[in-house]
Chain A
Amino acid sequence: MTNNIWEAQLDITPSDHKPVELTLDHCIKCNICVTACPVTAVTDLFPGPKYVGPQAGRFRHQGQPSPDHSVDYCNGCRVCNMVCPTGVKIAEINGRARAHIVQSGQVPLRRKLRNNLIARPELMGKVGQPLAPIANVLLHSGFGRFFAKLLLDIAPNAPLPRFSGERFSRWARKRPDAVRSARKVVYFHGCSTEYFEARVGKAAVQVLEANGFEVIVPPQNCCGLPLLSNGEFAAAQAYHESNIHHLIDYVKQGCVIVGTSTSCTLTLKEEAPEMLAYHTPDAQLLTANTFDIHEFLVHLLDAGELKTDGLKPMPLTLAYHPPCQYRAHRLGRPSTEIMALIPELTIIESQAACCGVGGTYGYKAEKYDITMAVGKSLFDFVQEVNGPIAVCDSETCRWNIAAVTGVPFVHPIELLAAAYGYEPEGPLAEVMK
Chain B
Amino acid sequence: MRTIQTEVLVIGGGATGTGVIADLALRGFRCALVEKRDLAHGTTGRYHGLLHSGGRYAVKDPKAATECIEENVILRRIMPHCIEDTGGFFVVTPWDDDAFGDRFMQGCRDTAVPCEEISIPHMLREEPHLNPGISRCFRVPDGSADSFLATQSVAALAQAHGAQILHYYEVKQLIRQGDRVVGALCYDLVKDEEVAVHADLVVNAAGAWAGKIAHTAEVEVNVRAGKGTMIAASYRIVNTVVNRCKMPADGDIIVPVHTVSIIGTTDEGVPDPEHFAIEPWEVQLMMQEAAKIVPGWHDLRMLRCWGGVRPLYQETKVADTRDVTRAYTLLDHETRDGVAGFITITGGKWTTYRQMAQVTVDRVCEKLGTARPCTTHETVVPNPFEQGHGRQHHNLGQRLADVEKEEAFGQLICECELATRADVEHAITQGEAKTIDDVRRDVRVGMGPCQGGFCTYRVAAIWHELKKPSIEETNVTLRDFLQERWKGLMPILWGPQLKQERLDELIYLSVLNADHLPGPRASRLGPAMYEPGTVWESDHAHV
Contact = CB atoms under 8 A, between A and B. Distances in A.
A67 B409 contact: no
Contacts of B410: 44
B401 A51 contact: no
B415 A59 contact: no
Interface string A68-109: 111000000000000000100000000000000000000000
Contact of A61 (B239, B416, B454): B239
B300 A68 contact: no
Residue among A18, A28, A47, A64 having the largest count of chain B Cβ atoms under 10 Å: A28
Instruction: Please give me the 8 A-B residue pairs with the lowest Cβ-Cβ distance, nearest first.
Output: A67-B397, A67-B401, A47-B409, A59-B400, A25-B301, A67-B400, A58-B259, A29-B450
Contacts of B503: 28-30
B299 A59 contact: no
A59 B234 contact: no
A268 B499 CA distance: 34
Nearest to B502: A28
A29 B397 contact: no
Given A22-B235, A55-B416, A64 B395 contact: yes
A56 B496 contact: no
Given A26-B496, A59-B259, A51 B415 contact: yes
B166 interface: no
B404 A67 contact: yes
A176 interface: no
B296 A59 contact: no
B236 interface: yes
A58 B404 contact: no
Contacts of A18: 296, 299
B1 to A, nearest CB: 48
A61 B397 contact: yes
Contact of A59 (B301, B396, B449, B500): B396
B409 A51 contact: yes
A61 B256 CA distance: 11
Contact of B301 (A26, A44, A56, A63): A26
A67 to B, nearest CB: 3
Contacts of A50: 415
Contacts of B398: 67
A141 to B, nearest CB: 38
Given A28-B499, A28-B503, A61 B395 contact: yes
A387 to B, nearest CB: 40
30 contacts: A18-B296, A22-B296, A22-B299, A24-B235, A25-B234, A25-B235, A25-B496, A27-B449, A28-B503, A29-B454, A29-B503, A30-B503, A44-B409, A44-B410, A50-B415, A55-B416, A59-B397, A59-B399, A60-B400, A61-B396, A63-B239, A64-B397, A65-B397, A67-B398, A67-B400, A67-B401, A68-B400, A68-B404, A70-B409, A86-B496
A68 B500 contact: no
Interface string B231-259: 00011100100000000000000000001
Interface string B276-304: 00000000000000000000100111000
Contacts, number: 89
B418 interface: yes
A33 B299 CA distance: 23
Interface of B: 126, 234-236, 239, 259, 296, 299-301, 395-401, 404, 407, 409-410, 415-416, 418, 448-450, 453-454, 496, 499-500, 503
A190 B28 CA distance: 77
A25 B259 CA distance: 12
Nearest to B401: A67
A61 B296 CA distance: 19
Nearest to A46: B409
Given A63-B126, A69-B404, A58 B234 contact: yes
B358 to A, nearest CB: 34
Contacts of A63: 126, 239
Contact of B400 (A25, A27, A56): A56
A55 B450 CA distance: 11
B454 to A, nearest CB: 6
Interface in A338-367: none
Given A22-B299, A68-B400, A28 B450 contact: yes
A66 interface: yes
Given A18-B296, A27-B449, A28-B500, 15 more contacts: A22-B299, A25-B235, A25-B449, A26-B301, A29-B416, A29-B454, A30-B503, A44-B410, A50-B415, A51-B409, A58-B235, A61-B239, A64-B395, A68-B397, A70-B407
Interface in A33-47: 44-45, 47
B535 to A, nearest CB: 27
B15 to A, nearest CB: 26
Given A59-B259, A63-B126, A86-B496, A25 B397 contact: no
